[in-house]
Structure 1
Amino acid sequence: MRSPSTFDSTTKARSLAFVFDAAALVCLLTVVFPHDREARVGPMLVLAFASIALGLACLRFAPRLTEPLLHGGLAVATVIVSLLVHFAEQSALYPLIYMWPALYAFYFFSTPVALAHLASIGAAYGVVLNIDDTADATIRIVLVLGTPLVIGLLISRLLGKMREGILRSSRQERALRSSERHTRLIVDSARDGFISTDSDGRVLDVNAAAEVLLGRPRAELLGMPFQDLGIPPEEHARFDERRRALIEGAHGDGTRHLSIRVSIDRPDGTRLRGETMIWVVERDGEVLFNARLTDIGDRLREQAERERLVAAEAAREQAEHAEQTIRRLQAVADVALTHRHLDDLLPVILRRTREVMNADAAALLLLQDDGQLSLAASDDAPGSQRPGVVRADTGIAGRVLASGEPVLVHDPTAGELADPAILEAAISSILALALLSSGEIIGVIEIGVRPPRRLSLDDVDLMRLTADRVALAIDHARAFGREHRIAETLQRSLLPQTLPTVPGVALGARYLPAAAESEVGGDWYDAIALPGGRILLVMGDVSGKGLAAASTLGALRNAIRAYALEGHGPAEIAERVNRFVLAEPGREHMATLVLALFDPVSGELGWVNAGHPPPLTLDATGEPLFLEGARSVPLGVLPFPGYEQETTTIASAGAVVLYTDGLIERRGEHLETGMALLATAAGDGPLDAEALCDRLLAAAVPSGATSDDVALLVLSHIPLGARLALELANEPSALGSLRGLLRRWLGQADASQADVYAIVMACSEACTNAIEHAGAAADETIAFAAVLLDGQVDITVRDRGRWREQRPPSDQGRGLELIEALMDDVSVETDDGGTTVRLRRRLTAAVEA
């Protein structure tokens, strides 16, 4: 039985349209040509036009006709043929028209389905015969059904065989094409180079690996003689001789392939030392050469070091055992990639060593700085407590350290073992080897087996391979540990040890390093006190991990501090630091950064965001708001990023939070989820800087461990206390912030406008005199302190210079007289440390702060 799906629906529909059109044609011919008067012209025309319409419909909707619709269409065709026979009332040949739907059924449908249609045709013709009361009905029905049945069955059988042949050929062709595609994919993805040439040795095709190995692009290689690909001229004649021998072998029974080592000079001056396998193929009577080119340079360079290993591996006759051994050795090396810390590495690598050697016990001893051996790891054998330190001149391990050679001992005593508990596991044979790193012994590894097995010198080579990988893994873990400690120490040394004290501001900060198995990241924060009581908040994240990221962090931190102390604003600092990053050719890191400059006098916060998570502000009620503005690209991405500062106001008792992405990122969650959690936790409690830091960490990192570093910096805008103290820069521009801060402080004490005016004027004059007359160096500062006690303001201005007499002519010598007029009490004291001016005034309407 053939599959009904051999032909598509379009072919079936078009063929059905032909059946309808053929019926229409017979109807029209019957009407046009002479016929018996009994033939009914009207119904015949209706049948003709109906058949034409149905045929056109089949053609129009051919792609959409389903199998049930095709069966229905064939049934309709059977009815039309029956009506044609009935209305024509012609000779007995007319019923042969039934062959069309019958043969259609056998051609396009399975045999059972075709027989069902044939039965329906017989039934339809039987009805016609009964209506027309035909005399020779039996003969006619046999003729109508028998003829298509015989022909249909023959056609069905023939088509079945044809389809089987077509399907078989199609499958073979698809398999061949699939094989060709797979072969091409294998060749294109192979590490070896594949080159195809004609009989004259000219290149016809190459794969990508051949382009890399030969150092030439494919377009240049095509058409070149093989010997011109870089084979030294002195080898040309020998190569041609071998090529001709291959051609002669292809025409006879000679050699059809050869393997040779070649040296190929690349265009860039380097030389490829390779091995090529060349074989002859014939295609359409044409002789072609295929060559596989393998780079064996590394193999040749390493051959001297691994001769013993190659000899040991070559001696293994069982391929399955060799495969398992290699896989287990690779597992030992892979341990260094998944366990970076030595304490985690040693138990795992000991277990892998046992698997490679099929041993029953193993121990690992590492050489300490004092020359003794520490039992770093051992099997969990039952019995006595293991010693932590072993003398380096005793036992099997001592013999290995003394000679540097493998030591094999059968039936060892307890005194010979670093871990006597191994004997309690019935170990009867011990093999110990030195662990070498850069030619120096760093420890000893031992394995043991139970009876009846005995270790032998044949196990040394495999154990040596294992020991090499164990030493490499230990060396890798130690190197990572050293770099991790250096980077962590460097990073922590670059974080502020203490936060600056600025009137009207409370600062809190936290730094949470990533989990122990992670590398040190590039997260950092800083808070820089600026003249006039302002403070610059810094939060950044350098891309990458480890020592390189930490060193980049240090350079950025120092650059930002330098630019900030020069007096630049956040946008200008970001522009300058970006140029600094781009100007360093050796740096491969970019960094995200937020700079926020806060003035506690006005409450104004100006910020710039270079690709960092947005700062979070909270008003006095704890309502959170993320500062989404002033955003631009990270540092080190574009030469002209165009950083622009935006400003907002932090109300008294409000706060601003800066953080790195480790605080809001969680695996499998959207970043918005972490930000929403941060905002909720920030507003759910007091806005004290330290308490806010603790609350945010508890909400975002409840376990205290994270896969990424977390840096957090909080500024709370707090009311000023009864004492106001700050360091002023030795320049007149610092006095503006002093006057604003002093007005705010006196306003909190409900001082009258007259008191505020007098005290601010007197302090401004005193600080101006200190700047102009004290003679302090430009980098010196002026200490300012104000205390409110029992309604009296006590102010101290101290510089580190010595006041000079004013040189005439000048009208600036009356500053002290003005101060004395404004304040109740004024005193000036000078000593070797500098000059101190003390001012006192009782407030007319004061409330103690």
Structure 2
Amino acid sequence: MPGTVGRVPTPAGPVPGARAPGDAGMVGRHQWSGTRLGPPEYWDLAVRAAAEIVLASRAPMALHLGDEFLLLYNDAYAELIGDKHPQALGQPAPQVFAEVWPMPGIGDIVEHTYRTGEPFLEREVTLPLRPDAGQLDQAVYVRACSPVRDSRGRIVGVLSVVTETNPATRQLQGLSDFAAALSGTLTLDDVARVALRYAITSFDADRVSFAVDDGGGWRLARRVRGELVDEADERLPPLWRRGPADWPAPAVVSARSGRASYTNDGEPLREIAADRHDQRIQALAAVPLRAAAVRGALTVGYRSPHTWSAPERALLAASAELVGQATERARRFETQHGTAQLLQRSMLPENLPGLPRLRIAARYDPGVDGNAAGGDFYDAFVLPTGDLGVVLGDVAGHDVQAAARMGQVRAALRALALGDPRPDQVLIGLDRLVSSLGAEAGTHELFVTVAFGVIDIDRELLTLASAGHPAPLLRRCSSGGEPRAEYVEVPAGAPLGVGYRPATCTVAFPPGDTLLLFSDGVVERRRQGLSHGLARLAESVAAAHSGDPRALCAAATAAVPGATEDDVAVLAVEYALRPSRSARMEVPAEPTAPSRVRHWMTAQLTEWRVAESVIGAAVLCTSELTTNALLHAGTAARVEIDLSPERLLVSVADSGSRGTVTRARTDTLSSRGRGLGLIEELSDAWGTDPTVRGSTVWFEILTPPQ
């Protein structure tokens, strides 16, 4: 039968020659006389011998003594329980670990061994000894419990030995999470972000890198311990360094040879060091990706000597294999995606007309897949009468054939409008074309929804016709009143190709108003009614800071939360209260470009007598966007500024997604994430727009009244 502390036989005085258990730091120096155990020299000899073993061991050990399971443990165990030490010494274990002791497999194991004397061994167990630790910090242990007997053979406690398993064993358990994260990546940028984040966390490394071949050269992304990586950084592409085909970087050497290399102590990055982070690395493992269609490698490095164990090498090889598979998928996706999207956007207008009083902007986003060309299209063009024709439509289908038909429909609509701009007559002629194309293809499933309108600037009127398309939205902005959004009550009718009947609607379109045409991908979501999406869109448009068309396009595409499988197209036209002033600058891909942009923009806005507070914020934001465009696109950029009495709009456009940027140093631009944070803080609205070739990032700052 187990005995309590009081039943541990103690002599009337100290045992001759007895001494306290071996001093093991703070544990050995603890004042046991103030606990129920009493001074160690009065303990039973067998109990004192067990305490000697515990305190002398380097493995985490603890004694649970008596019916209350009073704790005595060594320094290794103290590190294990964190801030519970030293208060836990001599205290009941159920009280110290009150939050976890009742859990199955925790306190009941100790109690069972104490009652029955049966030893216990569990090879892999997650012990929540530090409940404040996150899920990634929960280690895996081997735990053993054995009964502790006194000199008379009675059970007076339990010896608990807890040994953390090899770190590589824990890391292997994270491979499934890593594989799941990689399965959601689409591009090489995504793969690099996930791989670097996993490698630096799982291996507790000081520096990790990911290298991949880039058609005659190499590009490499890295992360170092302690660098600032926030949510904004995760939205940006990684910082890629580029090198030639014979680049001596260990990652590239491993990728070219297909063999892993391990440096235990040395200067493995001396030849390619970009900064002190590279120079301080002494141990480095470089493992090839083992992919069939792409070459690359993953590296893990430490600032101190490190011996690469067999489990670590196995984990590195498994990780590199997962990254290799994801890299191949990403390379195929980028190739297919680029072809499909280039086809799609080559059929859309590359430039929208610029008119003194009408500001126009459009946005097109692919659906969830993003890999197939779609049938959404938009257009805006000046008619022979001087009016502006605007159109947005959707050809059924999400394949290359749908994109080709979209190009036919868009070209035919413009040709018909240039001959007779009346919206109903344009759609009648277009209906004949669609019916003819359907008969030619031998299908009755070819149909098109479209909304076409004509803006008469002089008469301040908007005439619309719709064939099965969502009703356009008008943002009304009367002087002195709050902006409001209302849908135009235009008869929708049937889509083209399935029995369109002509009908038009004419409404007032005075200065200050903005017209918004959109595809159904903007408002339709699974398990949500269409009315909900339409209401959310109207609310977002009415609540926008201004009627600027670019800002409204961004607000419209983000109005309804949730992913859509359909393409998204938006076209906005603002009838400005007064003409705006605009200027542009072509920015070469060279290190001095951001500085030149800052000087040019400061001079231009000062000449326009913009408030100094607006100039300062705008110049800072533009400098950040220009630097990012040159770094990530690698091509020349274009900066455009447009000033109206209500706001300043600045856009920075690049013309590609790959390339080489000539820079004085490759490790600069440390403010990437903070730069976007500044733009969010200093501007009233900002966003990104894909273009035919490249992308555009813009921001808007409302100007104070003069």
TM-score (norm 1): 0.35
Relative contact order higher in (CA < 8 Å, ≥ 6 apart): 2
As a proportion of its length, which structure holds more helix? 1
TM-score (norm 2): 0.41
